């Protein structure tokens, strides 16, 4: 069975109403739905669905149903018995921030809600397609237990999760979707055929759109025998943006970390964390090692930022601009191993960033490799206060010590002058 361990994957996540629209274009059966931006739009949509409707906050986070809004309203998924009730629920969602177990205490803004018809269900199941490294390709995953976290199912009833590895060259075989449909509990021939059709169409979409995950939870059978996808999570490979421009045009930046948005616009590889030591590094492996040694030394990294092997001085400045946006960053550790990326180019970027941005945050700099002596001379001649480190261990110790001093000063309510601008 594919691993369910959560890892950091760079992928685009789109809203549920966008997922429903995309699936509809591939002929996948979904409920009647409408995305709305105002309570009055919700009232009209619910009325068109007979008044019996479900209002779902469009926020990119799991656990919406159990979440709470910043105004105290409970639940981002509400079943409503009238159009007026739907309007009232939407009014308490729109324009507010929804907090769930995945958003943290700050929550995420709700700018739209999705209104769907209310369905009366006979069965709720789980279905997903994902790229699995262990299987070296796509895998279909299904379970008769839908409407709950698949991680909980895996922990409590692992035998009830069924998988099929798909040959990416030959595609889905009929017997594979037949097995999955029956293992999900579908027995009526009509329901089995509908389920097989949905699985096949979802796979076609998965491949055509460079998806990394298609998760339907739940895939349901209604009391009148219809099989539908009533909730969907779709992720797409960031590396495919150049050929999936229509998909990536759906990106909602209001749901993203503002630091990642800024970094992405500058072509930087950035993942925000919750520490206080900012890291500017060239190379993913070196970035991981830098974060590890910060943790070992007793500190906490604030980010993963990889300049890559061919960054310009302007991109170095952009990297510091991202650091400026993060109020949690108390010190910036620059760790460069000069190969393709020359140390003197980094030094010029450092000097330009400090002077142009008015950067005041302490800098700990470790430069090693191509043109390191030239880089050191440029920094020394600049008149800027930067703490040079002899090696990575020394850099980490200096960065952690600065954070410790800053925290002690904060607790003692005294000011500490850590001005690293021009001397």
* Active-site annotation, residues: 126, 215
Contact 266, 299 (CB under 8 A): no
Nearest in space to 223 (alpha carbons), one of 153, 119, 312, 293: 119
Alpha-helix residue ranges (DSSP H) falling in 80-188: 83-93, 150-156, 174-183
Nearest in space to 326 (alpha carbons), one of 386, 289, 275, 400: 275
β-pairing, 53-57 vs 77-80, is antiparallel
Contact 193, 14 (CB under 8 A): no
Tokens of 122: 């006979």
Tokens of 344: 């003197």
Residue 56, φ and ψ in degrees, nearest 5: -125, 120
**Rounded CA separation 117/83 (Å):** 11
**Rounded CA separation 106/421 (Å):** 32
């Amino acid at each position: 069975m594919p691993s369910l361990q959560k890892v950091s994957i760079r992928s685009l996540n789109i809203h549920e109403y966008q997922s429903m629209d995309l699936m509809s274009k591939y002929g996948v059966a979904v409920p009647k739905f409408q995305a709305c931006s105002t309570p009055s739009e919700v009232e009209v949509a619910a009325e068109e669905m007979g008044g019996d409707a479900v209002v779902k906050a469009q926020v990119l986070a799991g656990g919406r149903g159990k979440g709470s809004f910043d105004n105290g309203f409970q639940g981002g998924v509400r079943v409503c018995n009238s159009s007026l009730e739907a309007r009232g629920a939407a009014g308490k969602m729109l324009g507010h921030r929804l907090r769930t177990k995945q958003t943290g205490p700050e929550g995420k803004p709700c700018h739209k809600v999705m209104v769907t018809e209310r369905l009366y269900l006979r069965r709720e199941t789980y279905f997903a397609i994902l790229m699995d490294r262990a299987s070296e390709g796509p895998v279909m995953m299904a379970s008769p237990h839908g409407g709950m976290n698949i991680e909980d199912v895996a922990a409590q009833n692992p035998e009830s999760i069924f998988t099929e590895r798909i040959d990416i060259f030959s595609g889905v075989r009929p017997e594979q979707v037949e097995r999955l449909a029956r293992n999900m509990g579908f027995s009526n021939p009509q329901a089995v055929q509908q389920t097989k059709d949905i699985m096949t169409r979802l796979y076609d979409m998965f491949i055509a759109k460079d998806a990394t995950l298609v998760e339907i939870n739940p895939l349901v059978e209604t009391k009148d025998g219809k099989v539908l996808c009533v909730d969907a999570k779709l992720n797409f490979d960031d590396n495919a943006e150049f050929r999936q421009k229509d998909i990536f045009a759906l990106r909602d930046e209001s749901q993203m970390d503002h630091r990642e948005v800024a970094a992405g616009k500058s072509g930087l590889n950035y993942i925000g964390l919750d520490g206080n030591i900012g890291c500017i590094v060239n190379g993913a492996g070196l970035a991981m090692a830098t974060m590890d040694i910060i943790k070992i030394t007793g500190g906490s990294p604030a980010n993963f930022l990889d300049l890559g092997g061919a960054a310009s001085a302007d991109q170095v400045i952009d990297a510091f601009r991202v650091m400026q946006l993060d109020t949690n960053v108390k010190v910036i550790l620059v760790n460069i191993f000069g190969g393709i990326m020359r140390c003197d180019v980094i030094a010029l970027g450092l000097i330009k960033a400090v002077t142009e941005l008015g950067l005041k945050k302490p800098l700990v700099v470790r430069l090693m490799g191509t043109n390191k002596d030239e880089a050191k001379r440029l920094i020394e001649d600049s008149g800027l206060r930067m703490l040079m480190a002899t090696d990575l261990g020394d850099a980490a110790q200096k960065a952690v010590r600065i954070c410790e001093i800053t925290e002690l000063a904060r607790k003692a309510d005294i000011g500490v002058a850590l001005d690293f601008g021009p001397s």
